[in-house]
C-alpha cells in the first residue's frame, strides 16, 4: 500500500462539521438569515467598488 500523500493526510485530518453544523447549513430559517447577511455584506463591497 502506497504511503498517504501530504494532501491526503491534510484532508483526512481536516475538521468535520458536526451534525449541528450540517443541520444549520440546511435549516431554512437559519439560512434565510445567512442569505440576508451575506447579501448585505456583498452589497457593501459592491457599493464600495463603485465609488
Partner 1 sequence: MARIVILGAGISGHTAALHLQRQLKNKHEIVVVSPNSNWNWIPSNIWVGVGKMAKSQVTFPLAPIYQRKHIVFRQAKAVAIHPEGDINESQGFVDIVYTDPTRVSEEERLAYDYLIVATGPKLNFAATPGLGPEGNSWSVCTANHAEQSSAALEKIIEALKAGERKTLVIGVGHGTCTCEGAAFEYTFNVEHELRERGVRELADVVYLSNEYDLGDLGVGGMIFAQNGFETSSKLWTESLFRERGVRAILRAHVEKVDPGVIHYEDLDGAHHTLDFDFAMLLPPFRGVEMKAYAKNGDDITDALFAPNGFLRVDADYATKPYEEWAPEDWPKTYQCPRYDNVFGVGIAFAPPHAISEPRKSPNGTVISPAPPRTGMPSGVMGRTVALSIVDRIHRGGEAKLRTASMADMGAACIASAGTGLRRGSAAAITMFPIIPDRRRFPGTGRDLTQTSGEIGLSGHWTKLLLHYLFIYKAKARFGWFLIPE
Q: Which residues bind partner 1 (CB under 8 A)?
A: 5, 7-8, 10-12, 14-17, 24-26, 28, 31-32, 34-35, 38-39, 41-50
Question: With respect to partner 1, which residue has the nearer C-beta, 1 or 12?
Answer: 12
Do 26 and 20 touch, CB atoms closer than 8 A?
no
Q: Considering the complex, what minimum distance in angstroms separates the CB of residue 3 from partner 1? A: 14
Q: Considering the complex, what minimum distance in angstroms separates the CB of residue 38 from partner 1? A: 5
Nearest to 25 by CA among 34, 15, 36, 16: 34
Amino acid at each position: 500500500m502506497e504511503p498517504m500523500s501530504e494532501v491526503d493526510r491534510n484532508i483526512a485530518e481536516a475538521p468535520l462539521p458536526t451534525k449541528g453544523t450540517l443541520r444549520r447549513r440546511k435549516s431554512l430559517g437559519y439560512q434565510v438569515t445567512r442569505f440576508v447577511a451575506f447579501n448585505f455584506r456583498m452589497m457593501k463591497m459592491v457599493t464600495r467598488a463603485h465609488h
